[in-house]
Amino acid sequence: MAIKRAHSEIDSRELAIEEFFVNEEPFYVAVADEIELFDSAYRLRLPIMLKGPTGCGKTRFLAHMAWRLSLPLVTIACHEDLTASDLVGRFLLKGHETTWSDGPLSLAVKHGAICYLDEVVEARKDTTVVIHPLTDDRRMLPQEKKGVVLEAHPNFLLVISYNPGYQSVTKDLKQSTRQRFVAIDFNYPPAEKEQAILMSEGGVDRETAVRLVRLGEMVRNLRQHGLEEGVSTRLLVYAAKLISAGHDTRQACTAAVTQAMTDDPEMQETIDEIVSGLF
């Protein structure tokens, strides 16, 4: 079947794109020049890869940038059962009629949204190939089942996230995919900025924030002694929120850090000792 090109007309039957706008400014503390770099990449319409460990602020950063740029943000949580049809769309049977339903990627392409593929390495390799035509100067998305090719809206931007700490033979990002993106590297914030995050997001005082950040630093050092990954800023915020809600400091740290990080009894004991020493 011949493939014809389809311009990005808006179908009134689709989900309203207004639902994907970020209406309030997400709190975000810049660590380096990531905001300026993202701005430049967006102006040049370069696809972006956010690299960094779990819970270091990649998703919050992207929500902040969507708010700054006044763009809708369509987020897709990748997993091994995600198919190309889940992204692009499929024909559905409604009553006695067969109708086409756009997937979230098609929706973003048509309406000029940021499409965010979260933890892209979790998706099947044959699924991620579908994004390749959107990451070069073609900026188009084939809807093969429909027999058309969508031209990306001028405002469309493709963003993926990737955690290098989980690289393996089966869960790594193919070179044919990763070399289509400019990369912005993320890590845990410096101590002073992480303290500011805990005070703002967790509602704790400076002294408690300082101790929680020190806890984070010490637990992250345990990666050299068998811990798979360091404690995320997200978990430290959870601990701060529990403390603000009136829970005992050690109880909050046990729930949000020790038990959340590991099931290994020896490692739990080590983290609890760190908590006892700090609090």
- Pick from 58-62, 120-124, 158-162, 191-195: least confident: 120-124
Same domain as 216, residue 121? no
Handedness of CA 207, 211, 217, 220 (dihedral sign): negative
Same domain as 160, residue 142? yes
Domain with 263 in it: 191-278
How sure is the predictor about 216, in pLDDT bands with cuts at 50, 70 and 90? very high
Q: Is 62 exposed, middle or buried (0-12, 13-18, 19+ CB in 10 A)?
A: buried
Query: Helical H runs in 221-248?
Result: 233-244
Same domain as 159, residue 127? yes
Same domain as 144, residue 176? yes
Last residue within a domain, chosen from 133, 162, 185: 185
Q: What is the pLDDT of residue 172?
A: 77
Q: What is the pLDDT of residue 195?
A: 98
Q: Residue 235 pLDDT more than 50? A: yes
Instruction: Provide the Cα torsion 47, 52, 55, 56; round to 10°.
Output: -100
How sure is the predictor about 127, in pLDDT bands with cuts at 50, 70 and 90? confident
Structure tokens at 189: 């914030």
Q: Residue 4 pLDDT more than 50? A: no
Helix (H) or strand (E) holding 178: helix 175-178
Q: What is the DSSP string of 26-82?
A: PP----SSHHHHHHHHHHTT--EEEE--TTSSHHHHHHHHHHHHT--EEEEE--TT-
| CATH code of the domain containing 171 | 3.40.50.300
Same domain as 16, residue 138? yes
Q: What is the pLDDT of residue 150?
A: 96
Within the chain, how many helices (H) and strands (E) appear?
12, 10
Q: What is the pLDDT of residue 167?
A: 52
Last residue within a domain, chosen from 185, 201, 231: 185
Q: What is the pLDDT of residue 130?
A: 94
Last residue within a domain, chosen from 164, 185, 206: 185
Helix (H, G, I), strand (E, B) or coil at 223: helix
**For the chain, percent of residues with pLDDT exceeding 90:** 78
Backbone angles phi, psi at 215, to 5 degrees: -60, -45
Same domain as 173, residue 253? no
Answer yes or no: are the C-beta atoms of 157 and 114 closer than 8 Å: yes
Domain count, the chain: 2
**For the chain, percent of residues with pLDDT exceeding 70:** 92
